Amino acid sequence: MRRIIVAFSILVLTLFFIATVSPVVAQDSTPTPTPGPLTFFTEFPSQVVGLGETISIDATLRGGKSPQIVQLETVTVPQGWTVTFRGQGKMVKSAYVEPTTDTNIEIRLEPPKDEKSGDYTFVVRAKGETEQSELTIQLTVQEKLPPSISLSCDLPTLTGSPTTTFRYNVTLKNDGSDEPSVNLTADAPNVFQVKFRLAGQEITNLPLPSKDVKNLSIEVSPVADVSAGTYPIKIMAQGSQASAELDLTAEVTGQASLTVTAPDGRLSGQAYAGKDSSIKVTIRNDGSAPARGIELSSTEPTGWTVTFDPTKIDEIGPNQQVDVTAHIRPSDKAVAGDYMVDITAKPSEGASKTAEFRITVLTSTLWGIVGVILIAIAVGVVALAVMRFGRR
pLDDT tens-place string over residues 280-297: 999 999 887 889 999 999
Q: Are 334 and 300 contacting, i.e. CB atoms less than 8 angstroms apart?
A: no
Question: For residue 72, what pLDDT band results from cuts at 50, 70 and 90?
Answer: very high
Percent of the chain as helix, strand, coil, to the nearest 5: 15, 50, 35
Mean pLDDT (the chain, rounded): 86
Distances (CA, A) of 376 to 367, 368, 372, 381: 14, 12, 6, 9
- Helical (H) or strand (E) element with 278: strand 277-285
Strand 268-272 to strand 353-362: parallel, antiparallel, or no bridges (unpaired)? parallel
Distance CA 383, CA 356 (A): 51
Q: In what order do the strands lie in the sheet with 320-329?
A: 258-261, 277-285, 320-329, 305-309
Instruction: Report the pLDDT value the prediction gives residue 106, as an integer from 0 to 100.
Output: 96
Section 55-72 average pLDDT: 91
Burial class (CB in 10 A: 0-12, 13-18, 19+), 167: middle
Question: By mean pLDDT, which of 91-95, 174-178, 275-279 is the weakest?
Answer: 174-178
Question: For residue 189, what pLDDT band results from cuts at 50, 70 and 90?
Answer: very high
Question: For residue 22, what pLDDT band results from cuts at 50, 70 and 90?
Answer: very low
> Residue 288: what residue type?
S
Distance CA 180, CA 270 (A): 75
Is 368's pLDDT higher than 60? no
Is 124's pLDDT higher than 80? yes
Question: For residue 255, what pLDDT band results from cuts at 50, 70 and 90?
Answer: confident
Instruction: Report the pLDDT value the prediction gives residue 33, as an integer from 0 to 100.
Output: 55
Question: By mean pLDDT, which of 60-64, 204-208, 227-231, 378-382 is the weakest?
Answer: 378-382
Looking at residue 132, what DSSP letter applies?
E
Is 338's pLDDT higher than 90? yes
Instruction: Report the pLDDT value the prediction gives residue 346, as an integer from 0 to 100.
Output: 94
- What is this structure's pTM? 0.49
Is 333's pLDDT higher than 80? yes
* Secondary structure tally for the chain: helices H, strands E: 2, 29
Section 367-376 average pLDDT: 67
Is 392's pLDDT higher than 70? no
Instruction: Report the pLDDT value the prediction gives residue 30, as an integer from 0 to 100.
Output: 46
DSSP 3-state of 103: strand
- Identify the structural domains of the chain with CATH numbers, from first to last: 39-142 (2.60.40.10), 149-252 (2.60.40.10), 258-354 (2.60.40.10)
Instruction: Report the pLDDT value the prediction gives residue 129, as an integer from 0 to 100.
Output: 86
Question: For residue 39, what pLDDT band results from cuts at 50, 70 and 90?
Answer: very high
Question: For residue 215, what pLDDT band results from cuts at 50, 70 and 90?
Answer: very high
Is 73's pLDDT higher than 70? yes
Q: What are phi and psi of 150, to 5 degrees?
A: -140, 155
Is 46's pLDDT higher than 50? yes
Section 327-349 average pLDDT: 92
pLDDT tens readout for residues 23-36 = 443 444 445 556 78
Across 51-55, 208-212, 244-248, 372-376, the highest mean pLDDT is recorded for 244-248
